[in-house]
Structure 1
Amino acid sequence: MNLYRGCTHGCIYCDSRSSIYQINHKFEDIEVKENALELLKKSLKNKRQKVMIGTGSMADPYMPLEKRIEYTRKALKLIYKYGHGFTCITKSDLILRDLDLIKKINEKTKAVVQMTLTTADEDLCKVLEPHVCTTKRRVEVLKELNENDIPTVVWLCPILPFINDSEDNINGIIDYCIEANVKGILCFGIGMTLREGNREYYYKKLDENFPELKNKYITHFKNNYHVASPYNGKLMKIFYKRTCDAGIMNNPDEIFTYLNEFPAKNTTKQSTLF
């Protein structure tokens, strides 16, 4: 489900700015689906098979606007009421506001929180993702979720060529993930994507924060959609070795299967009584 369109986090690399998504208004002016909760209620109520409900792939469900209108919280109440599972992708510590509901869902069925981490450098994080809590705070959120038995998955992406594609950064993020006891890390290679809409915005931000780097991108990557770091091979070897050594899932297919899989019936803690 996507309750919102657009975002106010200001991440300089955001693919959701791409023209293909046809957001025909200023990206920071959030479009709200006013009947989304009614549609969700109808869908969940009539669905015979219980499933995982996901959100956050297009817009963070925990933007500042959520503090006021509580669409995500209200959706969580419906998901809990009708016995479905929940997972979301976020960068925001606002998710802790709903920890009570997430715990209830996880006790009844299954809840998984996915958190994006792109840089271990706090100052760089404030440039790349200026209007949301920094990496260190997100790691604190991951640790609190772990303490409350909520499984977590980290999106280690995008990694921006010539900016944060370094061994120190990859190792730093993996160190954070080990500290927080995350279940899996999604990494689709060291790089990013650029296409019409988000490319123009990204290049504008490069000019503002990294002078001359735009020309380097144009020379190396031209108009390619997939923009791979020249250090991809070396850094992915580090990623796979360290995650394997730590016992963290690192295969995207395996992780997505886990995220989408609704728990089988009669596997609750009550079964220990027999």
Structure 2
Amino acid sequence: MNTKTSIKGRGAQINVPNRFFELHHEMRDDFLEFCRKEGEVSDKNKTHYLEVFPKTIVNKVTSPDVGMLYSMNPYQGCEHGCIYCYARNSHEFWGYGAGLDFERRILVKKEAPKLLEALLQKKSWKAHPIVMSGNTDCYQPAENNFQITRQCLSVFLKYKHPVAIITKNALVLRDVDILRALAKDNLVGVNISITSLSEDTRRILEPRTATIKRRLETVKELTSNGVPVNVMLAPIIPSINSHEILPLAKVASDYGALSIAHTVVRLNGAIGILFTDWIKKTMPDRADKVLHQIECCAMEES
């Protein structure tokens, strides 16, 4: 397995043009050569946090193949950098690319707690579980700085409103006090995403996520605090982690998960370009095999 990708700590190794824009920019070889000769850095690889001002924070989910009715995302884009992430395509709607932009241009919704409270106060609102992280992880590294997720959980607790969380970050344990209080009234469920039991695989698939060991410890600690946990074996990728389904299920059970669920990788939109570039650089020996098997799975589904 070749882990020497060109951009350290990132899943995507390229940016792809935004399909809604006629123009795009690219790194030319002559510019890169100039930077090399001059000893300059062509790409500083920094994460930028950009505040945005949405009018609403909760959206209704109409897709028939997603098991949620309402979701909210305090952040758009995700620094975790999971190469397979289905949310990458949504970054184009904000004017950015699905590749490196998705990981390095994080949109922050500081007004999310106020918008959430305004919704829950409406007489027309009928309580129904709202899923945090329906698109991007609410406990990604940005949460360390802004603590928007914790503020939103406090709102849910204040109004005794049901909420669910999807994350692959152990930072969720920071808020175990609120989660424990919600769990006493059966108002919360946490979904921990665990894609592999191999740290080598985790590092290249999900470069800025919590370690597998830490995630399993998170499952155990949440369970010991009375917070129900479901483990997401997601996504299953042929010839990368498909052989781990049963071992993952066994370990999830051993650490206290009440249930498991899974999804299979989908390479729609720009994700196909990004994933193909990534796997040919990262796993050149098995790239064609993996891509062909994913193609076969897609054909069977259709």
User: Is the aligned partner of 1:177 residue 2:252?
Assistant: yes
Which segments of 5 or more consecutive residues in structure 1 lack a partner in the other structure? 230-274
Task: Give the equivalent residue in structure 2 for 1:115.
Answer: 192
Post-superposition shift, 1:70? 0.6
Matches within 5 A, 1:45-194: 45-47=121-123, 49-166=126-243, 169-188=244-263, 191-194=264-267
User: Is the aligned partner of 1:24 residue 2:95?
Assistant: yes
Post-superposition shift, 1:217? 4.6
Aligned-partner Cα distance in 2 for 1:221–1:78: 41
Q: Is 1:16–1:59's contact at 8 Å kept on the other side of the alignment? A: yes
Higher helix share goes to which structure?
1
Q: How many residues align?
A: 224
Runs of 4+ in 1 over 6 A off after TM superposition: none
User: Is the aligned partner of 1:226 residue 2:298?
Assistant: yes
Residues 1:228 and 1:138: Cα distance change in structure 2 (over 3 Å): farther
Aligned-partner Cα distance in 2 for 1:95–1:2: 15
Structure 2 length-normalised TM: 0.68
TM-superposition CA deviations, 1:145-169 (whole Å, max 9, x none): 1111110111112111121211xx1
Q: Is 1:19–1:197's contact at 8 Å kept on the other side of the alignment? A: no
TM-superposition CA deviations, 1:184-204 (whole Å, max 9, x none): 11124xx31011211111112
Q: Is 1:155–1:186's contact at 8 Å kept on the other side of the alignment? A: yes
Aligned-partner Cα distance in 2 for 1:201–1:185: 28
Structure 1 length-normalised TM: 0.75
Residues 1:172 and 1:4: Cα distance change in structure 2 (over 3 Å): same
Aligned-partner Cα distance in 2 for 1:173–1:77: 32
Which segments of 5 or more consecutive residues in structure 2 lack a partner in the other structure? 1-71
Post-superposition shift, 1:101? 0.7
Post-superposition shift, 1:37? 2.1
Q: Is 2:238–2:294's contact at 8 Å kept on the other side of the alignment? A: no
SS of corresponding position for 1:182: coil
How many percent identity over aligned positions? 32
Q: Is 1:192–1:228's contact at 8 Å kept on the other side of the alignment? A: no
Residues 1:86 and 1:163: Cα distance change in structure 2 (over 3 Å): same
Deviates more, 1:41-50 or 1:170-179: 41-50
Task: Give the equivalent residue in structure 1 for 2:112.
Answer: 36
What is the root-mean-square deviation of aligned Cα atoms in Å? 2.3
Aligned-partner Cα distance in 2 for 1:66–1:182: 24
Q: Is 1:50–1:83's contact at 8 Å kept on the other side of the alignment? A: no
